[in-house]
Chains A and B, each alone.
Chain A
């Protein structure tokens, strides 16, 4: 199972803070996870999850969407950071 978390504008836009996704061998990378979420939840999710400036974290480290995933991972989606 994967844990998926959403922050900031992405959380608001999808009206979802956290969810789980059953593990599947086809979830080879973060792009595949996004594709599955979009296929399941509709066009709005596709627009939000495939927007150009979206950042992806795997187990709390920012990675590229081509990064592989494994059962038990935590994935997060969020916009560019604005701390400080």
Chain B
């Protein structure tokens, strides 16, 4: 059970290894979110993430604990970067371990859906054209959060 909020790049494999070693279970589901190379306004050259130090860590820990209680998780881990990221860099990684796949799938979705709307991160896209623009919150993300 751990939260990592960091400027540095991270290795997905390393976190996966720690997760499954921490408390082996029958079902493991992970999600990795990467910086995409395009957006509605054009080609993206980098992605900047601002966050609220202190609040970010406590919100992510709370989301993990909620998921653990709700889906009876054996282990979970959430990693999220901030700062300036390059295209194709992993932004976020979530891994959950449960006894059954249904709970693991649901828990991973739960963590990501809540994280998208509740964790204090704000993205700004750097476009190839030189423009920088803040990413607007999407109603789709709010709707997905409402499911839980």
Q: Which residues of A contact B (CB under 8 A)?
A: 5, 7-9, 53, 57, 60-62, 76, 78-84
A-B CB contact pairs (8 Å), 25 listed: A7-B52, A9-B122, A9-B134, A53-B137, A57-B52, A57-B55, A60-B58, A76-B55, A78-B120, A78-B122, A79-B122, A81-B119, A81-B120, A81-B122, A83-B51, A83-B92, A83-B115, A84-B33, A84-B80, A84-B91, A84-B112, A84-B115, A84-B116, A84-B119, A84-B121
B132 to chain A, nearest CB (A): 10
On whether the beta carbons of A8 and B50 are closer than 8 Å, the reply is yes
Given contacts A9-B122, A81-B120, 18 further A-B contacts (CB under 8 A): A7-B52, A7-B122, A8-B50, A8-B122, A8-B134, A9-B134, A60-B52, A62-B118, A76-B55, A79-B137, A81-B116, A81-B117, A81-B119, A82-B123, A82-B134, A83-B119, A84-B33, A84-B92
* Residue in contact with A80 in the complex, picked from B33, B55, B58, B137, CB distance below 8 Å: B137
Q: Which residues of A contact B55 (CB under 8 A)?
A: 57, 60-61, 76
B135 within 8 A of A: yes
Contacting residues, chain B, for A80 (C-beta < 8 A)? 117, 136-137
Contact with A along B101-123 (1 / 0, CB 8 A): 00000000000100111111111
